[in-house]
Amino acid sequence: MRMHLRTALATAVAATLTGGLLVAGQGMATAAPSGLQGDFNGDGYRDLAISAARATMNGKAEAGAVSVFYGSASGAGAARIQTITQETAGIPGSAEKGDVFGGHTAVGDFNDDGYADLAIGVASEDVGTDVDGGTAIVVFGAAGGLSGAATVSDPSPSSHDKFGRALAAGDFNGDGKDDLAVASDINKIDIFKGGFTKTGGNGGRYTVTPAILAVPGPDIFNLTAGNVNGDARTDLIVDGYEGDSSGDYSWNANYYLPGSASGITTTGSLKLPAGIITDIGDTNGDGYGDIVVGNSWDVSADSPGRSKGGAVDVVYGTPSGPTGGVFTIDQNSPGVPGSNETGDSFGHELSLGDINGDGLQDLAIGSPGEDIGTVKDAGMVSVLYGTPNGFFSATGLAIEQETTGVPGSSETGDGFGGEVFLSDVTGDGRADLTVGVPGENAFDGNVVAFRSNGSTMSTTGIAYGLTATKISSAGQPMLGINISG
């Protein structure tokens, strides 16, 4: 099976998730915290956490870093960037070789104070004598930005490793407090209830075991939270592997787990189309969250993808969950830029958000394997706009580094679109686009920020690299490998 870039990072270093549900703010600074999703400093603008999980810190290769791009009327990062590592005051632990701090992140108001908090996975952290045992850290929001943190310790370190390899946040039991789901290298998920404290407390814990069959090596590599069935509770999507009892074969298996009064449950669990990355949002205006699943594999004997070059499945939500049918998009679909070519990796990354303010979620799709002319794997991002008919009548926009207004130029292995994230960081009620380019400059990585012009996505972008984030260029930092907010 061809390995997805993020999955490769996950296998070695606990890679990523994106989330794209839009919660529009007023864009005005207030004395009280805004309560806005992703607003770490409570000023009414959504912020972004951008990982460089392989960054070198104090000479320690792949120790990892997370840079916070604070939102403003001028866009995320324009006014302030704060880089957090395990050398930052108040952050538990210390930078060590191979920790991959920031391999996965999730955002939620875990202590219910109106400021968004940031959960950071450190899946390869050595915990005492437990090599690669892993941990998670919650950094708390405040008026001055993220500061102070608490460790979310592995409750059963002897039964697994890589605790913190995947994270997701949501109100799974509908009590008004955000909970944190944490995966490791087995097929169980630990869910910590909202009510986190700066001394490491929380509202309690339970475990969930999805139908994924345990296989040698990592079972779960991605978690996504969102509301599919329209009730007052967040649901959870689990992306993982399952296999036969001999361990000779494994394949991708994804499951929907609904929220309930007691939290995430396997009752009502449904299997979803195969894919590596997911997001949830209402793409057709019926009031239910639709699940978009990116399957970037090519069709071959060992990689049974949905389409040559990759595809995206839209699984429509209903009151009973994701039972409203499946619509498949590939680069041969009407209105979608480009055409199916082997190795495009269409659907490698995706994110939902309302770009034009019509109340429908639009879709950004990364194709980091797209060749631009004769330049191999330069990468491209496709933007599709939601309609009352979903994406059946999509009219797409292509953005790549040869597009007028996009900084830089197409180079072999850049992987433009290796991460995509839609979020209203300017406070105008429209989602803006941030694109990760983790392969830029021999895997230094960078990010490019684009803004909605009110009706479409502008292709005029601003690039931010290691200089802006004050991260060393030693090794392969891969800035932009993961974005949350």
Cα–Cα distances in angstroms (integers) from residue 56 to residues 35, 94, 126, 223, in the given order: 34, 12, 17, 27
* pLDDT confidence of residue 151: 96
* pLDDT confidence of residue 219: 83
Of 63-72, 114-123, 156-165, 312-321, which gets the smallest average pLDDT?
156-165
Reported as a single tens digit per residue, the pLDDT across 419-474 is 999 999 999 999 999 999 999 999 999 999 999 999 999 999 999 999 999 999 99
Cα–Cα distances in angstroms (integers) from residue 443 to residues 87, 120, 173, 291, 352, in the given order: 23, 22, 40, 31, 26
CB-based contacts of 453, cutoff 8 Å, min separation 6:
none
CB 120, CB 106: distance < 8 Å: no
Distance CA 105, CA 51 (A): 8
β partners of residue 416:
379
Reported as a single tens digit per residue, the pLDDT across 347-384 is 999 999 999 999 999 999 999 999 999 999 999 999 99
Provide mean pLDDT across the span 258-268: 97
Say whether pLDDT at 246 is over 90: no
Chain mean pLDDT for the chain: 89
Q: What are 477's two structure tokens? A: 């930092």
Say whether pLDDT at 325 is over 80: yes
Provide mean pLDDT across the span 69-79: 96
CB 189, CB 197: distance < 8 Å: no
Cα–Cα distances in angstroms (integers) from residue 109 to residues 112, 141, 181, 377, 450, in the given order: 5, 8, 13, 38, 26
Of 14-23, 99-108, 412-421, which gets the smallest average pLDDT?
14-23
Q: In what order do the strands lie in the sheet with 397-399?
A: 349-353, 362-367, 380-384, 397-399
Provide mean pLDDT across the span 165-169: 97
* pLDDT confidence of residue 28: 38
CB-based contacts of 427, cutoff 8 Å, min separation 6:
25, 26, 27, 28, 44, 45, 46, 71, 73
Reported as a single tens digit per residue, the pLDDT across 281-297 is 999 999 999 999 999 88
Classify 9 as helix, strand or coil. Answer: helix
Distance CA 113, CA 315 (A): 34
Provide mean pLDDT across the span 331-335: 90
Going by pLDDT thresholds of 50, 70 and 90, the confidence category of residue 8 is very low
Q: What are phi and psi of 397, to 5 degrees?
A: -120, 130
Share of the chain above pLDDT 90, in %: 76
Q: What are phi and psi of 278, to 5 degrees?
A: -135, 160
Of 27-41, 76-90, 155-169, which gets the smallest average pLDDT?
27-41
Say whether pLDDT at 240 is over 50: yes
E strands in 347-465 = 349-353, 362-367, 380-384, 397-399, 419-423, 432-437, 446-452, 457-464
Provide mean pLDDT across the span 272-289: 92
Distance CA 9, CA 343 (A): 19
**Number of CB atoms found within 10 A of residue 373's CB:** 8
